[in-house]
Structure 1
Amino acid sequence: MDSPYRSTTDRGQAYTLEGFIGAMIVLMAVLFALQSAAVAPSTGGDRAVQPYVQQEIQDALVVAATADDENLSYMVRHWHDDGFEDADNDDVTYDESTFKSEFVLGSILERRFGDTRSYNVELHSQTNETYDLVDQGTPPSGAVTASYTVTIYDDQNVTGDLQSDQTVSNVSGPISDVADGNDETLYNVVEVRVIAW
């Protein structure tokens, strides 16, 4: 005799199997949708990448600052009486090709970001002078910034070929003397700032 509590059909098992199959289909659809969604670099999805890009820029600045030749100090002192040497115009903008061939920082930035990101390189002196060494446009609000400070001393030579035998204190270049004759060693402190997007 059959128990009154036992079903003679397999309806419960069929419902359970149907539920598992439905859940698998929904899960597969969600996974497929997540894998196929493209996130453009300018969207909020890029925020997770920003700290890594900022660290890469900071590392590039440190490597450029400690290089033997064409380092950040060399770049900041690359001037003559008329302004920065080899710049395209009076606004001191270098094209990417010249910047890459003249300075270590340019070479590193072009190798890392040349095809994938735009970047600007700016100089900000302690005497409130600002110069754009590379200007690739106006950065958006989500741009990443990193900087490195370079100290220039009175007895360092300018690095531009036109007056390389002169010290920075003897050439009236674009960056002025912060000490204004009061300190015999310090010339200026310049922040090299890189903005990438």
Structure 2
Amino acid sequence: MIGNGGSDDDRGQAYTLEGIIGAMILLTAVLMALNSAVLLPSTSGTIDRGVQSDVGQQATDVLRIADEDGNLSATLRCWDTSGDGRFNGSTGAEGAYRNGDEINNSLGTMLTETFSERYSSYTMKAVYRPEEGEDAIEGGEQSVIEQGNALRKSITVSHTVTLYEDQTLTSSCTDDSDPLTLREAHDENYPIPPATSESNHIYNVVEVRLTIIW
């Protein structure tokens, strides 16, 4: 009788332990599911405020890193003056990149890996100062990437880039491999104008606006 009682106790403890382990596994699975769920917009298009902040920070970091390695400036100068003019490798309206087009540098890689698989789309615009001698107070803007309708739910961040007189176009979007200076390119069809005199070292100051859309 004593032996049987001990066996029952052991069996009961084993069941209890199995139950605890099962509950822990279930809890872990639920937590993992919740953590995965908040990383993406819901089917209704809404997104957690904390995640909005995270997305904004990620977008800010992408622009900052691309600026530090020179590829944000290189992308703005990656212009093909043949025909009506467009960004190298782009097929979208007004010379902009659209879905399926590749920006062949670290900026393009970071945008694809950070946002393309997680959110609906994104756009990027270059807002520049007016050409020297113009009376306009505000400059203009050029679409760099157009992948969606920014009237939907979105987050926009910006980063300022300075273009210089001694810089040239970048046919590969990574280095100064095109002989045309920015001023010479603008005389053809490069959209960003010189905002200062030719004797000034600065060509234009551009605000890059990146909008993540879902």
TM-score (normalised: structure 2): 0.64
Over aligned residue pairs, what C-alpha RMSD do you find? 2.6
Bigger Cα Rg: 1
> Which residue number corresponds to residue 52 of structure 1?
54
Question: Match of 2:87?
Answer: 84
Letter in 2 for 1:186: I
Match of 1:126 in 2: 129
Structure 1 residue 98 and structure 2 residue 109: aligned?
A: no
Partner Cα separation in structure 1 for residue 105 and residue 140 of structure 2? 21
Q: Is the 1:154–1:185 contact (alpha carbons within 8 Å) kept by the matching residues of 2?
A: yes
Structure 1 residues 117-147: Cα deviation after superposition (integer angstroms, max 9, x where no partner): 1211111111222122211221245411111
**Separation (CA, whole Å) in 2 of partners of 1:155 and 1:86:** 24
Aligned partners of 1:133, 1:112: CA distance in 2, in Å? 18
Give the Cα separation in 1 of the matches to 2:88 and 2:45.
38
Determine the structure 2 residue equivalent to 1:75: 75
User: Quick one: percent identity of the two aligned structures?
Assistant: 29
The answer on 1:61 being equivalent to 2:78 is: no
CA apart distance, 1:95: 2.9
Three-state SS of the structure 1 residue aligned to 2:48 is helix
Moved more, 83-92 or 123-132: 83-92
Query: Would you say the 8 A contact 2:92–2:146 is kept in 1?
Result: no
Match of 2:205 among 186, 189, 193: 189
Question: Partner of 1:167 in structure 2?
Answer: 181
Q: Which runs of 4+ in 1 moved over 4 A?
A: 41-45
8 Å CA contact retained: 1:155, 1:169: no
- Secondary structure, aligned partner of 2:89: coil
TM-score, length of structure 1 as denominator length: 0.69
Q: Deviations over 1:148-172 (max 9, x none)?
A: 11101111111126x8012112222
Tell me if the contact between 2:193 and 2:204 (Cα under 8 Å) persists in the aligned partners.
yes
Q: Distance in 2 between matches of 1:74 and 1:109?
A: 15
1:90–1:141: structure 2 CA closer, same or farther, 3 Å change rule? closer
Structure 2 unaligned spans of 5+: 1-33, 131-138
Instruction: Look up the SS of the partner of 1:134 in the other structure.
Output: strand
Q: 1:60 to 1:89 in 2, by over 3 A?
A: closer
Q: Tell me the CA shift for residue 86 of structure 1.
A: 2.5
* 1:136 alignment partner in structure 2: 147
1:177 to 179, 187, 194: 194
CA offset at residue 83 of structure 1?
Answer: 3.9
Matched pairs, number: 157
Question: CA separation in 2, counterparts of 1:87 and 1:150?
Answer: 21
What's the offset of the Cα at 1:43? 4.9
In structure 2, distance between residues paired with 1:86 and 1:190: 22
**Cα distance in 1, alignment partners of residues 105 and 67 from structure 2:** 11
